Structure 1
Amino acid sequence: MTTTAPNISRIHHVAYRCRDAKETVQWYSKVLGMEYTNAFAEDYVPSTGAYDPYMHVFLDCGGGNVIAFFELPNQPEMGKDPNTPAWVQHIAFEVADMDALLAAKDHIEAEGIEVLGPTYHGIFRSIYFFDPNGHRLELACNIGSEEQYAELRRVAPDMLEEWSKTKTAPQHAQWLHVDPDAVEAE
């Protein structure tokens, strides 16, 4: 039998666990300006039939993107994978430009939230902070040129192949780590 891979049009939603659905909706609405759009609540999980009451809330991130959260009051308290550093698992949202990124940083800090950055990543700059559930969030604005994106696409296969053999950072895109603003400041 011949099959064809699906034609994915976009991410429908991404779901994470939260400690308190109401607090989470209020935080994402106030801090990130997301619109709370809908909720599902069940006593039994539709896909498995297991008894596990939950509240599943959905927020509009813009551009047809949706983030969702599950509050699971009958499950043990949320935790993190102790073998994965806190900086690894995160959700990144895009903002229009550097002015929007800096304005967002000011707003988030005014809400009493610690913000790291802006950090330079070659083709984008970003800030980092945590939501009330301990999920690391990133806001990023693209700054790369078409030539830079094309070069990254070109070297990506070689980088992956080298990484799979050596487990050391390939240097094909080392230019990503040279912040021109930091060089000019020296």
Structure 2
Amino acid sequence: MAKYYGIHHLAMATGDMDATIRFWRDLLGMRLVAGLGKPGYRHYFFEISPGHHIAFFEWPGVEPVPERDHGQPAAGPVVFDHVSFGVGCEDDLWDLRDRIEAAGSWVSEVIDHGFIHSIYSFDPNGIPIEFSCRVEEEDPAHIPRMVDSSPSSVTREGPGPVAGKWPAVVRPTPPDEREIFPGEGRELVSGQRKDWWRNP
């Protein structure tokens, strides 16, 4: 089975990349590490931590979503509730809370969830965001726990992958048949387009 090391990037949408840069880079302190684009389209990446990013597509006509409380039940087509960013310590959580509040944006009080302490806010696109600091001695990654009062039978099977629930791979792709097709991000490394930060 594949070994996962985290989320390489989350891809969001914005109608105002400049406001998005001001919030994610300048207020939250996440470096803007890559930018692709042309008139009418941009795709920018902000570094959360090494190897982990949040990216934004800028498309004409995209409007901020209405703010909705994190974790509030919803109906109809829904694929996303909020994204939580881990921070290193309690001081980081308080620093972020103070910075967001000083910027005139709404930010919650610090909430104790038992295994994490969190604050909640929204970015300029209405995206619900959370910042969480682990309570080390209560981290469920050390000893997974399921306290749902009515878990499904699939949930009761345990925290690890259950073998035999999906068809087995009959013929793995041999190395000599593994073809990789060029994608849009190649322009970041090809040198065919002007790099505005290296050659202004």
Q: Same fold (TM over 0.5)?
A: yes
Secondary structure (helix, strand or coil) at the match of 2:96 reads helix
CA RMSD of aligned residues (A): 2.6
Match of residue 165 from structure 2: none
Query: Residues 60 and 66 of structure 1 are in contact (CA less than 8 Å); yes or no, is this contact kept in structure 2?
Result: yes
Higher helix content, 1 or 2: 1
Distance across 2 between alignment mates of 1:136 and 1:22: 19
Matched, 1:63 2:53: no
Query: Residues 122 and 144 of structure 1 are in contact (CA less than 8 Å); yes or no, is this contact kept in structure 2?
Result: no
Distance across 2 between alignment mates of 1:143 and 1:116: 19
Moved over 3 A (4+): 75-80, 146-151
Q: Any residues of structure 2 matched to 1:67-86 within 5 Å, and which?
A: 67-73=54-60, 75=61, 77=63, 79=65, 86=69
Distance across 2 between alignment mates of 1:98 and 1:76: 35
Percent identity for Structure 1 against Structure 2: 31
Distance across 2 between alignment mates of 1:7 and 1:124: 25
Residue ranges of structure 1 left out of the alignment (5+ in a row): 44-52, 166-186
Residue ranges of structure 2 left out of the alignment (5+ in a row): 72-80, 154-200
Q: Residue 102 of structure 1: CA displacement?
A: 1.1
Query: Residues 82 and 130 of structure 2 are in contact (CA less than 8 Å); yes or no, is this contact kept in structure 1?
Result: yes
Q: Residue 9 of structure 1: CA displacement?
A: 3.0
Distance across 2 between alignment mates of 1:148 and 1:6: 22
Match of residue 13 from structure 1: 9
TM-score (norm 1): 0.67
User: What one-letter code is carried by the residue in structure 2 that aligns with 1:8?
Assistant: Y
| Residues 1:146 and 1:110: Cα distance change in structure 2 (over 3 Å) | closer
Distance across 1 between alignment mates of 2:82 and 2:10: 12
TM-score (norm 2): 0.63
User: What one-letter code is carried by the residue in structure 1 that aligns with 2:148?
Assistant: M
State the number of aligned residues. 144
